[in-house]
């Protein structure tokens, strides 16, 4: 018996190895469907575009039933495009209050089949009614902090030419429940509100509408002056208020379901109400008043910092807390997850534990400005869920950020690269953002396996597990080899890629320099935000204020964020802070190097072009991890004067060999790029 069993297993294993890897087409993202065997009968009540899309998707990509019936129902238990799935034998029913809800139900069925999950009766209502991408796309076609090519939006051709990629973009978003998009950069050009660009925007809105996606625009606060030469943009000026009302009317005439405005004001040089002695509330409320008759909203960003206080991490709270309750009902304050700026890890922004009388939404960064651009594998759900599941203690224990916010925005990583995101694993971040915005109870690992099964197809369990583990650990690995223990903002000037803790640009703002944040000196390392320092810890509700503010109780992962720690300080582990720092950098480096090995082991099971594309980037990532490790430890060692455990450093000869290996990387004959081109 045992002999037979072993023989069978060996035979199966042989078959598995010999199986041709599933083909991967970069441009298809997680929608790598293979045509199902039998064709399902899809019953819809109407042939409006959204239902036509749902029917076509099911007909082409779902085979786990004989019949699927899509039914609009009046059911208050299904708000915000929620849906219900009922299973009766070989018939499946999708019910929803809206046609978009039925479309989401259709993509749910297709996802179940593609991910190998059983279709079970269920009711799904989205965690957030507004699930929105922010494209930092400029109208000249460039993308700020974009690493996947140029902007998708071909403004010069629109509205006459409508690229087929716009519908593909909408389909990808609808398949993961994203229902809104801001087309342009928050460093907004006033030009976006010209009548010419409103017509172009309307053409895109027409494509997105059947997929349930509403269009929003980032606006420049000085638009009345830039576009129509008004003498001021003062929000209390009657002519300015009228200008915005007229502009809103013009937009809604062209785009009846326009979503509203996203605003970066009085931040990094952008104009705003403070230029006219007014408040953020004055500015936001003026725009809100213009949009209110049309049901539009204003998303007003809290990403502000000016030399008003010695600590940049305190400034959003200082500027916005006093305005609590002053914003109009259709204003939502959009706050980055952390107080500074999308670092590999930050404590949550204290605003999420305050502004009890103000609508709030979170801004997460999908594009990897600070986590390796499109070269590093950094699966971001573990960072995002760490933030969303944090307790702010605003109303005592159990005041989670995920329940506090009413919407969630992601700064997009999408460009016109053939596979949309350049790094194939960056697609997983776009995917996961949409899925978390729909269901904020999902976990990093469930998202990783869901994405792997749809994108890479059915793999042997151990191979899938290896890839999922790589994804699950990748964010912590990036933190370890870039900025462990609460270090932050020690990246290179300008492009923000690579280490530069020594960076000192003459004349630059001090709070743009790494030394402002790491504060390395002969005594220690880290920014003192405790009671003896900037007292930023006081912006957190009890007991977090004292938990973070006391070096003994502060969690290791935030230690150098909140404290200037002596090099020989004894950590919870019993090691000195210096040794803990060396260990963290060494751990991150080792993990990045291990990913290269892990991916080699997966080679027989992965599409060759995909494998090459990822292998090349994992090599770069391992190289960069070594670069971060050595650069930071050798730089900080100048201050600590303490030994680095030799095993963690390459000697010069090995270092040269290492760099040569990377710089002379033998690109595969086929370039290994076609997965992307």
Kindly list the catalytic residues: 268, 341, 369
Cα 184–Cα 189–Cα 191 angle in degrees, nearest 5: 100
- Cβ distance to ligand GCW smaller for residue 216 or 595: 216
Cβ at position 156, least distance to ligand GCW in Å: 22
Cβ at position 336, least distance to ligand GCW in Å: 7
Helices within 264-415 (DSSP H only):
280-291, 315-320, 381-388, 401-404
- Cβ distance to ligand GCW smaller for residue 187 or 399: 187
Cβ at position 408, least distance to ligand GCW in Å: 16
Contact 150, 141 (CB under 8 A): yes
Cβ at position 369, least distance to ligand GCW in Å: 6
Binding of ligand GCW at residue 200 (CB under 6 A)? no
Q: What is the β-pairing status of strands 297-301 and 331-336?
A: parallel
Cβ at position 242, least distance to ligand GCW in Å: 29
Q: With CB under 6 A, what is the number of residues at the site for ligand GCW?
A: 11
- Cβ distance to ligand GCW smaller for residue 135 or 171: 135
Contact 392, 352 (CB under 8 A): yes
Binding of ligand GCW at residue 137 (CB under 6 A)? no
- Contacting ligand GCW (CB under 6 A), which of 30, 211, 243, 342? 342
Q: Which two tokens stand for residue 494?
A: 């300008």
Q: What is the β-pairing status of strands 122-124 and 91-96?
A: unpaired
What beta strand segments (E) does 437-587 contain?
524-525, 565-566
Binding of ligand GCW at residue 143 (CB under 6 A)? no
- Cβ distance to ligand GCW smaller for residue 131 or 264: 264
Binding of ligand GCW at residue 451 (CB under 6 A)? no
Q: What is the footprint of ligand GCW within residues 262-321 (CB under 6 A)?
A: 264, 268, 303
- Cβ distance to ligand GCW smaller for residue 136 or 384: 136
The residues, any chain, with a CB within 8 Å of residue 187's CB and separated by 6 or more, are 136, 138, 144, 264, 268, 270
- Rounded to a whole number of angstroms, the distance between the first and last alpha carbons of the chain is 51
> Which CA distances in Å does 104 have to 92, 128, 211, 522?
14, 14, 9, 58
- Contacting ligand GCW (CB under 6 A), which of 68, 103, 178, 186? 186
Binding of ligand GCW at residue 168 (CB under 6 A)? no
Cα 32–Cα 33–Cα 38 angle in degrees, nearest 5: 170
DSSP string, 626-653: HHHHHHHHHHHHHHH--PPPGGGS--HH
- Contacting ligand GCW (CB under 6 A), which of 27, 144, 237, 556? 144
Q: What is the footprint of ligand GCW within residues 110-129 (CB under 6 A)?
A: none
Contact 178, 432 (CB under 8 A): no
- Contacting ligand GCW (CB under 6 A), which of 93, 341, 464, 676? 341
Cβ at position 622, least distance to ligand GCW in Å: 26
Q: What is the footprint of ligand GCW within residues 602-641 (CB under 6 A)?
A: none
Contact 306, 315 (CB under 8 A): yes
Binding of ligand GCW at residue 373 (CB under 6 A)? no
Cβ at position 496, least distance to ligand GCW in Å: 7
Cβ at position 145, least distance to ligand GCW in Å: 5
In this structure, what DSSP letter does residue 554 have? S
Half-sphere exposure for 357 (CA within 13 Å, toward CB): 9
Measured CA to CA, the distance from residue 234 to residue 582 in angstroms comes to 53
Binding of ligand GCW at residue 147 (CB under 6 A)? no
Cβ at position 370, least distance to ligand GCW in Å: 8
Contact 486, 558 (CB under 8 A): yes
In this structure, what DSSP letter does residue 110 have? H
- Cβ distance to ligand GCW smaller for residue 124 or 363: 363
Cβ at position 183, least distance to ligand GCW in Å: 14
- Cβ distance to ligand GCW smaller for residue 233 or 270: 270
Strand, coil or helix: 353: helix
**Secondary structure, 3-state, 55-109:** HHHHHHHCCCCCEEEEEECCCCCCCCCCEEEEEECCEEEEEECCHHHHHHHHHHH
- Cβ distance to ligand GCW smaller for residue 264 or 466: 264
Measured CA to CA, the distance from residue 401 to residue 391 in angstroms comes to 6
Measured CA to CA, the distance from residue 119 to residue 126 in angstroms comes to 18
- Contacting ligand GCW (CB under 6 A), which of 145, 241, 314, 402? 145
- Cβ distance to ligand GCW smaller for residue 81 or 369: 369
- Cβ distance to ligand GCW smaller for residue 83 or 303: 303
- Contacting ligand GCW (CB under 6 A), which of 22, 91, 98, 187? 187
- Contacting ligand GCW (CB under 6 A), which of 24, 107, 128, 136? 136
Which stretches of the chain bind ligand GCW, using CB under 6 A?
A: 136, 144-145, 186-187, 264, 268, 303, 341-342, 369
């Amino acid at each position: 018996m045992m002999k037979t069993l072993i023989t069978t297993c060996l035979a199966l294993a042989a078959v598995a190895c010999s199986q041709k890897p599933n083909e991967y087409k970069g441009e298809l993202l997680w929608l790598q469907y293979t045509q199902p065997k039998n064709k399902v009968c899809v019953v819809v009540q109407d042939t409006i575009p959204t239902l036509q899309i749902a029917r076509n998707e099911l007909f082409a990509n779902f085979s786990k039933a004989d019949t699927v019936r899509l039914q609009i129902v009046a059911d208050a238990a299904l708000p915000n495009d929620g849906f219900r799935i009922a299973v009766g034998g070989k018939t499946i029913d999708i019910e929803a209050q809206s046609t978009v809800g039925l479309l989401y139900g259709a993509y749910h069925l297709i996802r179940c089949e593609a991910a190998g999950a059983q279709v079970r009766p269920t009711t799904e209502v989205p965690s957030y009614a507004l699930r929105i991408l922010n494209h930092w796309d400029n109208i000249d076609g460039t993308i700020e902090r974009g690493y996947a090519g140029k902007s998708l939006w071909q403004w010069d051709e629109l509205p006459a030419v409508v690229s087929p990629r716009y519908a593909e973009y909408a389909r990808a978003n609808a398949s993961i429940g994203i229902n809104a998009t801001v087309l342009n950069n928050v460093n907004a050009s006033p030009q976006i509100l010209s009548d010419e660009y409103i017509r172009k925007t309307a053409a895109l809105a027409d494509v997105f509408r059947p997929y349930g996606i509403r269009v929003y625009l980032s606006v420049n606060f000085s638009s009345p002056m830039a576009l129509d030469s008004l003498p001021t943009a003062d929000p209390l000026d009657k002519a300015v208020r009228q200008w915005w009302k007229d502009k809103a009317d013009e937009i809604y005439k062209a785009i009846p379901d326009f979503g509203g405005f996203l605003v970066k004001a009085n931040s990094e040089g952008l104009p705003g109400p403070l230029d006219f002695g007014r408040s953020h509330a004055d500015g936001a409320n003026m725009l809100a008043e213009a949009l209110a008759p049309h049901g539009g909203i204003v998303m007003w960003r809290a990403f502000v910092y000016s030399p008003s206080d010695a600590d940049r991490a305190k400034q959003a709270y200082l500027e916005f807390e006093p305005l609590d309750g002053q914003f109009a009902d259709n204003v939502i304050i959009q706050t980055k997850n952390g107080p500074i700026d999308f670092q590999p890890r930050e404590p949550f922004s204290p605003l999420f534990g305050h502004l009890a009388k103000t609508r709030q939404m979170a801004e997460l960064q999908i594009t990897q400005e600070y986590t390796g651009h499109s070269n590093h594998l950094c699966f971001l759900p573990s960072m995002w869920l760490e933030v969303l599941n944090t307790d702010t203690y605003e109303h005592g224990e159990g005041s989670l950020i995920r329940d506090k916010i009413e919407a969630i925005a992601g700064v997009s990583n999408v460009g016109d690269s053939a596979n949309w995101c350049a790094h194939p694993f960056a697609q997983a971040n776009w995917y996961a953002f949409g899925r978390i915005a729909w269901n904020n109870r999902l976990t990093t690992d469930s998202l990783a396996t869901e994405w792997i099964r749809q994108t890479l197809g059915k793999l042997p369990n151990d191979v899938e597990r290896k890839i999922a583990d790589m994804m699950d650990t990748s964010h912590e690995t990036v933190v370890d080899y870039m900025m462990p223990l609460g270090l932050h903002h020690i990246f290179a000037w300008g492009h923000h890629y690579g280490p530069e803790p020594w960076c000192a640009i003459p004349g630059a703002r001090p709070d743009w320099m790494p030394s402002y944040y790491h504060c390395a000196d002969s005594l220690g390392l880290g920014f003192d935000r405790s009671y003896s320092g900037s007292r930023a810890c006081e912006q957190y509700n009890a007991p977090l204020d004292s938990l973070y503010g006391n070096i003994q109780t502060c969690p290791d992962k935030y230690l150098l964020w909140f404290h200037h720690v002596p090099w020989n300080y004894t950590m919870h582990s019993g090691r000195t802070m210096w040794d803990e720092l060396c260990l963290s950098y060494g751990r991150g480096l080792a993990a990045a190097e291990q990913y290269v090995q892990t991916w080699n082991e997966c080679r027989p099971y992965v599409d060759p072009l995909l494998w090459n594309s990822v292998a090349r980037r994992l090599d770069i990532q391992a190289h960069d991890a070594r670069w971060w490790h050595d650069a930071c430890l050798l730089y900080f060692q100048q201050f600590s004067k303490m030994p680095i455990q030799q095993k963690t450093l390459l000697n010069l000869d090995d270092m040269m060999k290492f760099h040569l290996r990377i710089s002379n990387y033998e690109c595969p004959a086929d370039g290994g790029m076609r997965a992307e081109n």
